[in-house]
Amino acid sequence: MVEPTLEEEALAAEAAARDAFAAFYSGLTGGEDQNALPPEVTLALARWVEARKRWELAQTETKVPSMPRLGLKPPASVMLPSSLPARDALAALFAPQLWQTEASGLAMVAKVSDTAQVRVEFDEVLGFGPEQAIRQIARSGPAAAQTFLALASLWMERLAGQPHETYLTLAASDLLRFQGKKATPKGGYHRDDIIAKGRDLYLLSRITVPHAMGSESMALGRLLSLEALEAGQSDEGQSIMRFRYHLGQEAHGWMQESVAQVAPRLLSYHPVRQKYQILLGFCLAWHIGNHPEETELSLPHLLELAAIPMPEKRLSEFLTSVEDALSELASDGILPGVKLLKPQGWHELLASRQTRLLLQKSWVQIEKPRPELAGRGTH
């Protein structure tokens, strides 16, 4: 019997891993019930990685490839859905020998040339964690973030002390009223405002939040569970939308009673004119509650968490807008003491038009008193 080559072993292991994970992924319900990564899928992925490494290492004994094999050219950045598992499966997509894990264990870096590298950041839960869900909320936009804060606040206000699976029935008008929106002269709300809330609810209900189950497995849950979304018109011709929902297990853990201290003030901001205040305030408050020991946060990390990309042009105006937004959050009492700190020599960087470098080297200082938006901090 002819022994398979290392290449054949790697390709067979890859096919088995893809089939195993595809079967698992296609069977996800997306409901409140949790979906742990089955042991057989983990084993198939591990076999794939090991077989691929053996093949790659054998190929590089005589020659170092100028680029990953199979013609795979790494992109400048990588975006993955939060349901995909693990760093090893990702590394196997390219050339394993290029990847190195940082000492912190929170990122992998592959240097693909003298001037280019691919960096992939991970969290403690098989490469993914709650930050991914926060980033997804922010990516959905400031209006969706405000909707989430309103949903969480109303649930905590009306069902405090109840299990997180307890449903609350609301109408879109309840959310608009809670956010301080003015009703029409007839007493209802504009159809466009009602539809916008329906869009936010749908987007939020699709966000998956992973969390650890033991030391080697991951579970998937929803940010919130949404049921019985109904739309119609009242006898007076006003648009109506009713729905039932409850917070997911992870979201319930973040959003303790203290959300009421922060959310109403963030809800008072305009989602267009003050979008930076909303997104930065929401993400900073979550980060502070989850990392109470940290007093600083790099500005690039905060911008990534808040899904705010650095523009290609007019960087000086962007820097001013971000700094003004942070100052307003502090002066309004939402995040007292928070401020942007620039690196030494920042005037020279600005004068020499190295604003992007200035942004990359800046950080945000967090001072007490801090809000406990996430429920994990102790103050």
Lowest mean pLDDT among 75-89, 99-113, 213-227, 253-267: 75-89
DSSP of 184-231: PTTSS--HHHHHHHHHHHHHHHT-EEEEESSSS-EEEEESEEEEEEEE
Q: Is residue 82 packed enough to be buried (19+ CB in 10 Å), middle (13-18) or exposed (0-12)?
A: buried
Q: Which of 216-225, 241-250, 271-280 has the highest mean pLDDT?
A: 271-280
- Does the pLDDT at position 243 exceed 60? yes
| 24-83: pLDDT as tens digits | 655 554 444 444 556 777 777 778 878 877 877 776 554 444 434 433 344 455 454 444
Lowest mean pLDDT among 12-26, 145-159, 337-351, 360-374: 360-374
- The arithmetic mean of pLDDT across residues 309-325, rounded, is 91
Farthest-apart Cα atoms in the chain, separation: 85
Cα–Cα dist 20/119, whole Å: 27
The pLDDT value recorded for residue 81 is 45
Picking from 146, 109, 371, the residue whose alpha carbon sits closest to that of residue 259 is 371
Whether the model clears a pTM of 0.85, i.e. scores above it, the answer is: no
CB atoms within 10 A of CB 300: 14
The pLDDT value recorded for residue 24 is 63
Q: Which amino acid is at 287?
A: H
The pLDDT value recorded for residue 210 is 67
Q: Which of 26-35, 212-221, 261-270, 306-315 has the highest mean pLDDT?
A: 306-315
Instruction: Report the percent of the chain where pLDDT is more than 90.
Output: 18
Cα–Cα dist 193/378, whole Å: 38
